[in-house]
Structure 1
Amino acid sequence: MVTPVSVLFLCTGNSCRSIMAEALFSHYGGQRFRSYSAGSFPTGEVHPVSLATLQAKGIGVAGYRSKPWDEFTHQPMDIVITVCDAAAGESCPAFPGEPLKAHWGVSDPAKFQGSEEETQAEFTRICNQLETRVQALVDLPVEEMDREALRQALQEIGRL
């Protein structure tokens, strides 16, 4: 049996973007991948519109929680991806296993101001953008790629 590729999504609050990325990756990644998410300054709760957006796509939401990234500093990761500009600029802790790092920045839907309908549309837009990137990563033959090719592919996916 092949060991799954572990992917950690980081954000500041771990309430919207990183949670959505983790859930999408868990959904699409199958047995090939294991996904996690965390924040540098977690809010302590998952934004309810994040969960509603995922559920509307048929993605399970049970068990997701906002957590600090130090929960993962003793767990080897293959890939660490920041999904917000704030987390990309922060100094990340060292993760065992020398993970590849990439930045897939998207705007924070929790900071969006508008009507309930406009807010839902913004969460959906962000979730769709993350979904496109997650599916692109899942479609790669990650197990067969060398580190440099995978690093380049992760950077390209971040521009999608």
Structure 2
Amino acid sequence: MTTKTKLLFLCTGNSCRSQMAEGWTRHFHGDSLEVYSAGIEAHGLNPNAVAVMSEAGVDISGQSSKLVSLFSDVPLDVVITVCGHADENCPIFRTEAKVIHVGFDDPPKLAREAASPAEAMGHYRRVRDEIRDFVRDRLRSSMG
């Protein structure tokens, strides 16, 4: 029996980008990767992230916002930071986890500056699709 590679997506608040990345990874690689997401802080699951992922056929509504400290005893193999703040403040892990940074725009921040609700949701969809493409097409090669 092969052990699954343990992968953690890390973001500032574990509300949007890291949650989408966790959902896409379960969708595309759930058979071979044990995936988690966490934040430097826990801001709660963003309802717009849940909505746009549902539009794409991936249900993340059962996921929850978690602090990275909950994973201090998990023998992680790879940690991927998905925002600059998490990359700059990435904690030291007890294991020999490989830490990779792959940054994505912050949909909630962009949505606050949007001219309309439709434009705001467009930011969530664009970032959702960018994360999907990364997870589907480049995740394995980036993990080495």
TM-score by length of 2: 0.91
Q: Over aligned residues, Cα RMSD in angstroms?
A: 1.6
Report the identity percentage: 35
- Aligned with residue 108 of structure 1, among 106, 109, 128: 106
Q: State the one-letter code of the partner of 1:126.
A: V
Matched to 1:124, the amino acid is: R
Structure 2 unmatched runs, 5+ = none
Q: Distance in 1 between matches of 2:105 and 2:31?
A: 29
- The Cα of 1:137 is off from its aligned counterpart by 4.2
C-alpha displacement of 1:116: 1.0
Contact residue 75 and residue 95 of structure 1 kept, 8 A:
no
Partner of 2:97: 99
1:85-107 Cα offsets, whole Å, 9 max, x none, are 111111x2332430111001011
1:49 aligns with 2:48: yes
8 A contact 1:103–1:155 mirrored in 2: no
**Stretches of 4+ aligned residues off by more than 2 angstroms:** 92-97
Residue 63 of structure 1: CA displacement? 1.9
Deviations 1:35-56 (A, max 9, x none): 100000111x111000001100
SS at structure 1 position matched to 2:41: coil
- Residue 60 of structure 1: CA displacement? 1.7
The aligned amino acid for 2:29 is G
SS of residue matched to 1:105: coil
Question: Would you say 1:16 and 2:16 are equivalent positions?
Answer: yes
Does the Cα contact within 8 Å between 2:7 and 2:36 map onto a contact in 1?
yes
> Equivalences for 1:10-159 in 2 at 5 Å?
10-43=10-43, 45-90=44-89, 92-112=90-110, 113-114=113-114, 115-137=116-138, 140=140, 153-154=141-142
CA distance in 1: counterparts of 2:2 and 2:143, whole angstroms: 25
- What amino acid maps onto 1:18 in structure 2? S
Whole-angstrom distance in 2 between the partners of 1:110 and 1:155: 27
Distance 2:135 2:108 in 1: 21
**Once the two structures are superposed, what CA deviation does each residue of 1:79-132 show, in whole Å capped at 9, x if it has no partner?**
100000111111x23324301110010111011121111111100110111111
8 and 155 in structure 1: CA distance in 2 versus 1, 3 angstrom threshold: closer
AA at the equivalent of 1:97: T
Name the counterpart of 1:147.
none
**Gaps in structure 1 of 5+ consecutive residues:** 141-152
> What displacement does 1:155 show?
7.8
